[in-house]
Amino acid sequence: MSNPVSVEDYRRLARRRLPRLLSDYIEGGALSESALNRNVTDFEQVHLRQRVLTGVEHVNLSTNILGTDLAMPLVLAPIGLTGMYARRGEVQVAVAAKQAGVVMCNSTMAICDVREVTAAAGPVWYQLYLLRDRAYMKILLDRVWAQGCTVLALTVDVGVPGERQREHRRGMTGELGPLGHLTRAIDGITHPAWLWDVYAKGRPHIFGNVNEAFGGGDGGFAAFWTWARTAMQVSLTPDDVAWVRENWPGKLVVKGVIDPDDARRAVDAGADGVIVSNHGGRQLDSALSGIKALPRVAEAVGDRATVMMDGGVRTGEDVIRAMALGAKGCMIGRAWVWGLAARGGAGVSHVLELFRKQMTTTLVLAGCDDVRKVGPDMLA
């Protein structure tokens, strides 16, 4: 396919280029992958009013979310291991986001250290997984703040990793036997473009932001996951949110909230915003999709905090649908990951351009000239 025109096209291209270990890691969800699938299909039930005799021709997409000026209401979601999908992937993504006038949220589980990313792209948003080692947490928060990053997304839904069977099947989460090593080697060798770009030229493959805490070396997923399971704090409480609040001078947004009660707790503990998210369908398989959960969370939070959502956002029209249901903007995950894996930074830029065009078209056809005016009155 030489002319990708959709996120789905990029998914197919990415699947060809990446070893199966990685394409399954990205695509997969928990258990039956019902939450994963509903994240996408539930958008189909959100209908916008088609308004044509309105004379709208030009639209404004720019907005401001949590103090960050954005050319469109999009933030690139934090994705672990991005530097394994393309050479120094986090840097490429952050640069592409900046060029499009938006921002990437850098994962704690990134390959590239946040300092490598900000040196190339300037300040980004930063996503935090809370480790039990609070002294290290303070060092990391100070480091991120010193880079000029002003928004921290505290992810609260992965105290325990979801049951992702594709990851177990590929040996991503456990020890590999001799045959497993052979299978993995074949998986790599049969994807030569990836092998050259990432495996050979993209080193070091360490978890840049937590490597000091992990104390590990290059590679070794199994050793890393074993460490992460004990190092990460299982089961958070509002006190943990409050601890981060005390130690982070910038904006704090709590990511991974589906239930209105959790949203209220997060805001009571000092969060400036919440991201309605089921972690891309990777955690609780029976959880509501982000788009289904959004209206009740938005209602619970009211004007007290900023509400964003993610999960299954595949088009610019999906972003407008979410905004009509109460979100200030969306995060996109797999959409940009597939662009990156298929075509590097240029793929991410193209995906963002697709979103920009689709949002523009949607607003014109819905008779709205400014994305900041999108609201429930646009729902059919």
Site residues, ligand FMN (CB under 6 A)? 25-26, 39, 77-80, 107, 109, 127, 155, 255, 277, 279-280, 310-313, 332-335
Measured from the CB atom, the residue of 269 and 275 that comes closer to ligand FMN is 275
Measured from the CB atom, the residue of 41 and 190 that comes closer to ligand FMN is 41
Please tell me the distance from the alpha carbon of residue 298 to that of residue 296, in angstroms, as a whole number: 5
Its sign, for the CA torsion 349, 351, 354, 355, is: negative
Please tell me the distance from the alpha carbon of residue 246 to that of residue 122, in angstroms, as a whole number: 25
Measured from the CB atom, the residue of 78 and 345 that comes closer to ligand FMN is 78
Q: Which two tokens stand for residue 115?
A: 């300092």
Closest separation between CB of residue 4 and ligand FMN, Å? 17
Minimal CB distance residue for ligand FMN: 333
Q: Which residue matches tokens 């915003």? A: 273
Q: Please write down the HEC assignment for all residues of 279-318.
A: HHHCCCCCCCCHHHHHHHHHHHHHHHCEEEECCCCCCHHH
Cβ contact 197:97 at 8 Å: no
Measured from the CB atom, the residue of 313 and 368 that comes closer to ligand FMN is 313
Give the angle 347-126-324 at the CA atoms, nearest 5°: 70
Closest separation between CB of residue 365 and ligand FMN, Å? 23
Whether omega before 161 lies within 30 degrees of 0, making that bond cis, reads: no
Closest separation between CB of residue 313 and ligand FMN, Å? 5
Please tell me the distance from the alpha carbon of residue 375 to that of residue 365, in angstroms, as a whole number: 15
Closest separation between CB of residue 178 and ligand FMN, Å? 27
List, in sequence order, every residue forming a beta bridge with 153; answer none if it has no partner: 127, 253
**DSSP string over 72-134:** SSEEEPP-TTGGGTSTTHHHHHHHHHHHTT-EEEE-TT-SS-HHHHHHHH---EEEEPPBS-H
Closest separation between CB of residue 22 and ligand FMN, Å? 9
Measured from the CB atom, the residue of 214 and 365 that comes closer to ligand FMN is 214
Please tell me the distance from the alpha carbon of residue 340 to that of residue 335, in angstroms, as a whole number: 9
Helix (H, G, I), strand (E, B) or coil at 172: coil
Cβ contact 310:333 at 8 Å: yes
Nearest to 329 by CA among 77, 51, 10: 77
Measured from the CB atom, the residue of 280 and 326 that comes closer to ligand FMN is 280
Show which residues are catalytic: 279
Which residues make Cβ contacts (< 8 Å) with residue 357, sequence separation at least 6?
316
Measured from the CB atom, the residue of 105 and 363 that comes closer to ligand FMN is 105
Please tell me the distance from the alpha carbon of residue 174 to that of residue 217, in angstroms, as a whole number: 18
Measured from the CB atom, the residue of 76 and 305 that comes closer to ligand FMN is 76
